[in-house]
Structure 1
Amino acid sequence: MKKLILGLAITGSFLATAQEKTKSASPVTFGVKAGFNASTLSKADQYDNDQKLKPGFNAGIFAHIPVAEKFSIQPELLFSQLGSKTEEREVYYINSDRYSRDLDYKKTLNYLTLPVMVQYNILPQLYVEAGPEFGLLLGGKNKGDITVARNSGNTTTTETTTFSEDIVKDLHNKFNFGIGIGAGYYFTQNFGVTARFTAGITDIYKHNSGDAIRNNAFQVGVAYKFN
């Protein structure tokens, strides 16, 4: 009986130790995430316009890889909508007639992105992050309205044209590179909220004689880790 009790005690101790080692090893976990993008393009000097944040979304999967007690690496694979919303206002004269031209349009760029974030846990549930983001351009669309108003004497005529067209991919760089910084908070072991700003480094156009035009985006969303 004593040998049996001693054997059970040793076995229990071994199992407890093994369980503790498994917990401390913090194995790789996988998850899904989705969120809202507020994006814009860096403003080049040759464009006299007013850019606004364009809404979009991102969604995809990630792997959470612990590398030290408080450090981890999180590669992600996301579909992400970037681009900008632009409002141009122009007034010009032809002879004695006054013309005003208003252009409101959205440029949407769809990317398959691969962010690789290095995360540091300030608290067990709170982290900050930074790292590169690599993007592959899938396509996009330019969509908007052009309104021209002509004022001739006491008469005003207005004409509005709506357009929607796919971007010319040959004019755009296929690959995009940026740097992201952000933070996140997990309310439970599985569910958390995230926030990130990504600043573009590369020009979105292949042949741009002026200042480089880059993607910039602020992202907020939710993440879920699988056990």
Structure 2
Amino acid sequence: MKKILLMVLLLAVTVNAFSQRRRTVRRSYARSSQWYIMPKGGFNIATVTNWGGDVRFGLALGGELGCRVSDVITLSGSLIYSQQGTNTWFYSRDFRTDIHLDYLNLPFMVHFNVAPGLELKVGLQPGILVNDAVTLRTDGYSYDEDFHRSMKRLHWDDGYIESVDLSMPFAISYQYRQLVFDARYNLGLNNVTTRSWWRNGHNSVFQFTVGYKFDL
């Protein structure tokens, strides 16, 4: 009887120790894979709404830091250098303007895991203007200036490019091993220009990137 009790006690201790080890391994795995960092790069197809212009193809380069808060939801923040703007004629074919607007965008996103490797994302994205270069072609001459000086040269108005842009990004992504393929649309929420009398316009950007995900 004592041998049986001893064997039962030993079995109970072994099972308990094994269970504790499994929980420790699971917790350790959860901690190591809960946070991630991801460098990424790709390209934009950008324009400014209501300006009637052609699209601008530009680069999108940066990185993302994320945290999985549940099996369904992940939160992330990114820093993206984004080349945006448009190529447009304005009102007259006597003027040709290429407007290159470059931003440091800070998208904060909520990810919804809808299938293995597949996520839908939505968020809010402030952007800081770092460059507004305009190439103005008129009367056989070409001028490389900022937006304000170009408007002054055309004797139109006293407009400036807003220093802060606000957009709402909508995205879908798919992860294959460590690679994450992301396609998103950034819907501009505020006017690109200020102190301008002519057409208001918002940034409108399709962005495609590929990232490599490192678990922390």
Counterpart AA for 1:224: Y
Q: Distance in 2 between matches of 1:118 and 1:211?
A: 33
Seen in structure 2, the aligned counterparts of structure 1 residues 88 and 102 have a Cα distance that, compared at 3 Å, is: farther
Larger % of helix: which? 2
Secondary structure of the corresponding residue to residue 52 of structure 1 = coil
Q: Distance in 2 between matches of 1:194 and 1:102?
A: 40
Counterpart AA for 2:174: Y
Partner of 1:36: 43
Would you say 1:74 and 2:53 are equivalent positions? Answer: no
Counterpart AA for 1:219: Q
Secondary structure of the corresponding residue to residue 20 of structure 1 = helix
Q: Distance in 1 between matches of 2:89 and 2:162?
A: 24
Moved more, 67-76 or 81-90: 81-90
Q: Which runs of 5+ in 2 are unaligned?
A: 1-6, 150-158
TM-score by length of 2: 0.80
Partner of 2:166: 177
The count of aligned residue pairs is: 198
Secondary structure of the corresponding residue to residue 19 of structure 1 = helix
Structure 1 stretches (4+) deviating beyond 4 angstroms?
Answer: 2-12
Q: Distance in 2 between matches of 1:223 and 1:21?
A: 27
TM-score by length of 1: 0.77
Moved more, 80-89 or 166-175: 166-175
2:132–2:161 CA contact under 8 A, matched in 1:
no
Partner of 2:113: 121
Larger % of strand: which? 1
Q: Distance in 1 between matches of 2:196 and 2:143?
A: 24
1:181–1:198 CA contact under 8 A, matched in 2:
yes
Residue in structure 2 matching 1:21, options 17, 27, 30? 27
How large is the RMSD of aligned CA atoms in angstroms? 2.6
1:202–1:212 CA contact under 8 A, matched in 2:
no
Secondary structure of the corresponding residue to residue 26 of structure 2 = helix
Identity of aligned residues (%): 22
Shift of 1:204: 1.5
1:113–1:136 CA contact under 8 A, matched in 2:
yes
Q: Which runs of 5+ in 1 are unaligned?
A: 45-49, 91-100, 149-159
